[in-house]
Amino acid sequence: MLPADSDSDSPNHAQAPRMALIAGVSFNVVIGTIMGSFSLMIASVETRLHVSTGAAAGGLFLMLLVASLLAPFVGVLIARYSLRMLMVLGAVLTVAGFLILALTTSYPLYLAAYGLCFGPAMILTGSIGPNTLVARWFGRNRGLALGLVNLPFLIAILPVLLNAFLDHYSVRTAYLVLAAIAGLIMLPLNLLIRDHPPGGEAAVPGAHTADGSYSLMQLLGKSQFWALCLAAIASMTSSVLLGALLIPMGTSWGFTRGESSIIQSVMSMVGLAGSVLFGWVADRLGGGKSLALIGLNCAILWAVLLLHPSFTVALVVIGLIGLHGSGAMPTLGRGLSDSFGKASYSRGLGLNTLFSLPFMGAAMLGAPIAYARTGSYNPSIAAMACYFALAVGLGLYGARKPR
């Protein structure tokens, strides 16, 4: 058995840091402007469009649904066509979405902005595109590079800046400014992208597509691919569950809403370090073994939550869960590219994005139902602990090189 990506320790091209910078800025602008503005704008959406809070929130749900469903197809497009032009397209769609939101008072057009513009943009320019660019250009320290690129620093500061902006300017002006930020920053930067380092991509053993990569069907036929994806989805599901339900969960343990909000903020801030930390770990252990380590630690941490710990203990435990949760993307990226080659990375990440949708949906919908029936979040917490325990074996199995 041979490693699929034989250049994993070869020196990086001199332009690799430039490509990583473009990828990181693109990721942050798309994720930061779209996700960082949503909660602040939702009240104005209700007023302008005369809809309920649930209807206004439907835009975000539609965006995530479209992004997940499109992900495998975008992965194929990126493998076949110019990554530069596809990321430019994502930038254009981001600008178009904010322009629609600034100018429309129509609810269908509001949904179109999120579903037809932001949904594809999140995948093209905010997720698969930037990560594929880094995976192609970095052999040495690829996990660390992926971790740095996925640092969501803009989403941490934009809500504060936007809130101050809205004290003096209208929501329409805010949308126009977000459109200008996306256009003036991403468009010129993405035009500087080079799809591959000089010399192109090397073929990988066992792959039969024209570019020497694994096709979607070949990836689906590899048990190691399934193991890596399912191990990473445990962390993704954990992050979504806590992000959506941490405040009511903390309230059920006797914490005040303010205390629960503090825990949530700490989880998000510590997660910034986790992306870099586990990218570094993945470069040393490999993606599969790193996912197994995350699974082991998180199984223990989630089990501690079954004891309904004190505020201080919960703060530490959930902070550590956030630290590990943000390591899913760089560790998965390292595992996929090492086992199946850089040319297969976009397809693999696209499939993973699609596979994660039912798990995250089940967690977000199932946890409140379980609480309504039992009066406790323990069933959901126990389910996450068991899933992470299973992820230990999945990660170790995924670390094996495919034949």
Per-domain residue ranges of the chain = 16-190, 216-398
Buried b (16+ CB within 10 A) or exposed e, 212-239: bbbbbebbeebebbbbbbbbbbbbbbbb
DSSP assignment of 48-83: HHT--HHHHHHHHHHHHHHHHHHHHHHHHHHHHS-H
Q: Give pLDDT, residue 9.
A: 58
Between CA 93 and CA 109 the distance in angstroms is 14
d(CA 22, CA 197): 15
Do 216-398 and 16-190 have the same topology in CATH? yes
Q: Are 190 and 22 in contact (CB under 8 A)?
A: yes
Q: Where are the alpha helices (DSSP H) in 326-402?
A: 328-340, 345-374, 378-398
pLDDT at residue 142, rounded to an integer: 83
Structure tokens at 272: 């910034």
CATH of 216-398, picked from 3.40.1390.10, 2.60.40.10, 3.90.550.10, 1.20.1250.20, is 1.20.1250.20
pTM listed for this prediction: 0.75
Count of beta carbons in the 10 Å neighbourhood of residue 173: 13
Spatial distance between the Cα atoms of 138 and 194, rounded to a whole number of angstroms: 13
Q: What does the block give as tokens for 66? A: 């479209």
What one-letter code names the amino acid at 168?
Answer: H
pLDDT, averaged in runs of 10, over the chain (403 residues): 49 87 92 82 84 80 88 86 93 96 92 94 91 87 84 78 86 94 93 83 48 76 91 90 82 86 82 86 90 96 94 93 89 86 81 87 84 90 96 92 68
Quote the tokens at residue 13: 């091209």
CATH architecture of the domain covering 16-190? Up-down Bundle (1.20)
| CA-to-CA separations, 91 to 122, 135, 199, 277, 385, in angstroms, rounded | 10, 20, 27, 29, 39
pLDDT of res. 6? 47
Look-up of token digits 């969501």: 152
Report which DSSP code applies to 19.
H
d(C-alpha 141, C-alpha 51), whole Å: 48
Q: Look up residue 303 and give its two tokens.
A: 């089990």
